[in-house]
Chain A
């Protein structure tokens, strides 16, 4: 009886305002993948839906976690992920080649992906513990520097610039929102402005450097590295306002568009659905980010706030960098578009983020209903 009563109330408590748009976006993505596979459910489209259902359930489970549990788990999760990253690096070293995946037998795990929410959790936990007065002290910077530097460095070694940047972006946003002195960010910005050109020529791999050059002038090499950007822009531009129609995208179907089902899925979509399809995607992401920031604003306590805002920023980073890339506003970095690109790891990461935001949402609502406040 209790279970029968609990079920509707549990359903009623779900944040349907965000689950419904997300489901719509995933279904849309599935349709695009269906077309990209030449009108077949396999190998991408059906899998996409199945994964979403699985990860949505996972997100709902995460949303049930208590705040204390997450806080308690922050450090262990971080340490485990760091160890996994090292394991990947070690395996790659032994195997004689770069590697991002860890085969656990039943799943191909990509620890760098999981580190994106992981870094946000550990930093939110750190600044939560830090006495407010200490935010001006150097230790508020030094500890996170190590906490960020280790995974970011390991991921960079893989080498995976995109994921590394995503990890750093989430971390920096948490630090920014944690209230560290503004001048530190300004100083860091100036330092970066000096360091980036140097790093560009010292630390980056040739192919990464080439991507940047190509981004700056894609037409310089239309059949080489600029090919991706050029073909993507052709796909989006030729779609027009209403698109060429479902299943009629020549750029994707005739293989001119590289990676039409993963990184360039937005171009595949825009070719067939036009600007309207693109605006729909932007709109749903807008809804999700607004939801995330609203949850963060209304969240009870510093940990919850930083957690929700940091995770929102991570989702934002994914979407923004991917969209800027396919529209020729950013260099080609291998970052998929959440909810639309085919790929299990990235969807799992995003759905973990969504689940945690939903958890924060639940914590806030429970407090409003007369719960307690801790900090």
Chain B
């Protein structure tokens, strides 16, 4: 080669240059080859790095691409009562979905579905719209709550219906509906806020429901259980290629409450058309046997979302069906404070036989505080002060001992406290004393404050649970703590550290209230050998210019009715507190307490009474609620405004911090009649008013009788 080039090259310059170029080519092509080799090595190293060093990471990524994990919502644990009766269970529910991508003959599939599931033509049209509006792999809901026959019929024909997916799910079921609404709460779809707190993919799984209130919320983690899972191979577009494996869900653990489900239901139903609450406690262990708050909502209908009409119906009701009145209702306790005020007086050394003359009122400073009985009670000792509920006796005696011993006794008996209960919220209430007033209002405690407090007015505020605890402590003589969870260790209940004879004096006076010359003679149990002891209370809501809180005034200005009691008298076993909002006096409360207590000893007899009432009221609470809903639906149809998301949860939870009512000064205001005196007529038996157009709220219509408020001077024996 070389010699040939030399032989051809004529000019020296060019020949050298040509050789130089040749050298350059060799050098540079070597560089090029090296670069190519270098890139090759780089690629090999990179390949090895990806395939070996990062293999694990990418394997995981590939698997998470390939495998789609569908969570199956776990079945919720049951909520049981003390006798293992389910208060919340799960009802098998069949639903049918349609995966548009898999459908071959759409029209035929729709026709078959319509035929088997008995869909209306309108529903089929809606379904067709939905099918056209979604992406292929996303299932479209055809129907929920499908019955077993339809489900079975559909399952048999599945081979001819590609794309149709019948599924089995569960919905929460509360057998007694509204009776347990406030106690147990309800379940619902997870809100954005709840997902923010607990970033669990289960929460956004279709069909999953979370506890929203009450026991359901408090024991959410216990009740929830472990989700099942379905693993499937999916393409990038989400299409399922094949199912890989399936893991069954693990049902949540049951929660066993101390509640007696039947009693709970009875108490709730017995409240009837009133707005009120009933608490029953067992005096052995402090077990809460019933915590009923009515009116309520039906948690069954909440679990599949809250409809517009339902929301309108509940939010417009002035009986606040969304508030748990047992825990969050705050009321001036009225005369139900008299038993413990008496205990405070006894402790301060007042002789129970020392008497005060009641002439219908007492001048304190420059104001006159009236007794509820304008005519006066004459000579009144402590027992008479309780059973006749004489205000003047307590005005006089309380001024002698001052407020502090009374407030101490109130706290000793459980007022002003929250209890360690598994509930969403509780209110403290107020036990007023000089230090409290100084802190809150920055003003000195006055004598008239003591006078007001001593009859359960003024600043005094309690909730019905506290009243029940108070009753249980007076009845048992022990510091009982309420217990709601059956599996919780019973709390020690030491003796109250009060002389037994003091308690006996008060208990006997309470016996007199019902069985003697007291204010609640009609609260006597219709049972042989079992005697009820109690104390009535009528609390004014506002300082009425009209001077009366009876049935003649608008509902929301009527007096609250209270009754605390225990039975049997000789060997106390149960304590009970009833509070009826705006019941126009304690006569609205104690018949409820009487029947609830009767139910504990003779359910048969109590049920008969209830049936009579319910015929009058127009059915059970559940039936009335359903009918009311129906009437609302007829009136508003789809025209009701859509509730804001979370509005109802907010409403339910906000009720926990219900604003305390304004204190009422009894001075210069006539006191409402106490006990039987207020009720010339039998317990209110208003008509079931279910006409939303006129008055959506079920208010007891005023009885057309002489104004009971005027009827102050009636005999009480």
Query: Please, which residue of chain B has its CB at the minimum distance from the CB of A131?
Result: B14
Q: Is B237 an interface residue (CB 8 A)?
A: yes
Any chain B CB within 8 A of the CB of A212?
Answer: no
Q: Are B43 and A293 neighbours in the complex by a CB distance under 8 Å?
A: no
B123 on interface, CB distance cutoff 8 Å = no
Interchain nearest-CB distance for A327 vs B (Å): 5
Is B14 touching A256 in the complex (CB atoms < 8 A)? no
> Residue A234 contacts which of B17, B47, B65 (CB distance < 8 angstroms)?
B65
CA distance A231 to B66 in the complex (A): 12
Residues 7-46 of chain B: 1 if any A CB is under 8 Å from the residue's CB, otherwise 0?
0100001100110111011101100110011011011101
Known: A254-B234, A255-B237, A367-B1. 19 other contacts (CB 8 A): A178-B25, A179-B25, A235-B58, A237-B50, A250-B233, A254-B66, A275-B52, A279-B47, A282-B47, A286-B37, A289-B33, A297-B26, A297-B29, A302-B18, A302-B21, A302-B22, A306-B25, A323-B43, A327-B43
A152-173 vs B, Cβ < 8 Å mask (1 yes, 0 no)? 0000000000000000000001
A282 and B44 in contact, given A237-B57, A238-B61, A297-B26 (Cβ under 8 angstroms): yes
Cα separation A282 to B55 with both chains bound (whole Å): 20
> In the complex the two chains form, is A285's CB within 8 Å of B25's CB?
no
Q: In whole angstroms, how far apart are the Cα atoms of A305 and B40 in the complex?
A: 23
With A279-B47, A286-B40, A373-B1 as given contacts, are A177 and B233 in contact (CB-CB < 8 Å)? no
Q: Which of A184-241 contact B (CB under 8 A)?
A: 231, 233-241
The residues of A with any CB-CB pair to B shorter than 8 Å are: 131-133, 135, 173, 176-179, 231, 233-241, 250-251, 254-256, 270-271, 274-275, 278-279, 282, 285-286, 289-290, 293, 296-297, 300, 302, 305-306, 309, 313, 316, 320, 323-324, 327, 329, 367, 373, 375
A327 to B21, Cβ gap below 8 A?
Answer: no
Give, as a whole number of angstroms, the nearest-CB distance from B15 to chain A: 9
B5 sits at the interface (CB 8 A): yes
Contact of B29 (CB < 8 Å), options: A231, A239, A309 = A309
B48 at the interface (CB under 8 A from A): yes
Which residues on the B side are within 8 Å of A296 (C-beta)? 29
Q: With a CB–CB cut-off of 8 A, which chain B residues contact A271?
A: 62
B43: contacting residue among A237, A282, A309, CB under 8 A: A282
CB distance from A242 to the nearest CB of B (A): 9
B235 x A255 contact (CB < 8 A): yes
18 A-B residue pairs with CB within 8 Å: A132-B14, A133-B14, A133-B17, A237-B61, A238-B58, A240-B55, A241-B51, A251-B62, A254-B66, A275-B47, A282-B43, A285-B40, A290-B33, A293-B29, A309-B32, A320-B39, A324-B39, A373-B8
B608 at the binding interface (Cβ < 8 Å): no
Q: Is the CB of A176 within 8 A of B32?
A: yes
Task: Give CA–CA (A289, B43) in the complex, Å.
Answer: 15
- Residue-wise interface mask of B (637-674) relative to A, using a CB-CB cutoff of 8 A (1 in contact, 0 not): 00000000000000000000000000000000000000
B residues engaging A (CB < 8 A)? 1, 4-5, 8, 13-14, 17-18, 20-22, 24-26, 28-29, 32-33, 36-37, 39-40, 42-44, 46-48, 50-52, 54-55, 57-59, 61-63, 65-66, 233-237, 241
Instruction: Note all chain A residues with C-beta closer than 8 A to B63.
Output: 238
Q: Do the beta carbons of A373 and B5 come within 8 Å of each other?
A: yes
CB closest residue in chain A, given B3: A373
Top 8 closest A-B pairs, CB basis? A237-B58, A238-B62, A132-B17, A275-B51, A179-B24, A255-B236, A250-B66, A179-B21
Task: Tell which of B4, B39, B59 has the most Cβ of chain A within 10 Å.
Answer: B39
A363 to chain B: closest CB distance in Å? Answer: 13
* CA distance in complex: A135, B25 (Å): 13
Write out the residue numbers on chain A whose beta carbons fall within 8 Å of the beta carbon of B54: 237
User: Which residues of A are found within 8 Å of B18, using beta-carbon distances?
Assistant: 132, 302
Nearest CB of B to A229, in Å: 12
Given A275-B51, A293-B33: A234 and B58 interface contact (C-beta under 8 Å): yes
Set A173, A238, A375: member contacting B55, Cβ < 8 A: A238
Across the interface, which residues of B come within 8 angstroms of A316, CB to CB?
Answer: 36, 39
- Report Cα–Cα, A251/B50, bound state, in Å: 15
Contacting pair B233 A327 (CB below 8 A): no
Tell me which residues across on chain A come within 8 A of B50, comparing CB atoms.
233, 236-237, 327
A320 touches B43 (CB 8 A): yes
> How far, in Å, is A136 (CB) from chain B's closest CB?
9
Supposing A132-B20, A278-B51 touch, asked if A313 and B32 sit within 8 A by C-beta, the answer is yes
Known contacts: A250-B66, A254-B236, A320-B43. The answer to whether A240 contacts B1 by CB under 8 A is no
Q: Give A230's nearest chain B residue, CB to CB.
A: B61
The complex places the Cα of A320 from the Cα of B39 at a distance, in Å, of: 7
The CA-CA distance from A278 to B51 in the complex, in Å, is 10
Q: Does B32 contact A177, Cβ atoms closer than 8 Å? A: yes
Inter-chain contacts of A367 with B (CB < 8 A): 1
Contacts A132-B17, A177-B25 hold; do A237 and B55 have CB atoms under 8 A apart? yes
Which of B13, B32, B62, B234 has a CB less than 8 Å from the CB of A173?
Answer: B32
Task: Tell me whether B36 and A133 are in contact (CB under 8 A).
Answer: no
A282 to B43, alpha carbons, bound, how many Å?
8
Contacts of B233 in A (CB 8 A): 250, 254
On chain B, the residues within 8 Å of A286 by CB distance are 37, 40
In Å, the complex CA distance between A270 and B48 comes to 11
**Contact: A270 with B17, CB < 8 Å?**
no
Inter-chain contact B62/A235, CB cutoff 8 Å: yes
Q: How many angstroms between the C-alpha atoms of A255 and B235 in the bound complex?
A: 6
The answer to whether A282 and B241 touch (CB under 8 A), given A250-B62, A275-B51, is no
Closest to A278 in B: B47
Which residue of the partner chain B has the closest CB to A231? B65
A236-B58 CB under 8 A given contacts A255-B235, A289-B36 = yes
Closest B residue, CB atoms, query A222: B61
Within 8 Å CB of A177, what residues of B?
A: 24-25, 28-29, 32
When distances are taken between beta carbons in the complex, the residues of chain A under 8 Å from B55 are 237-238, 240-241
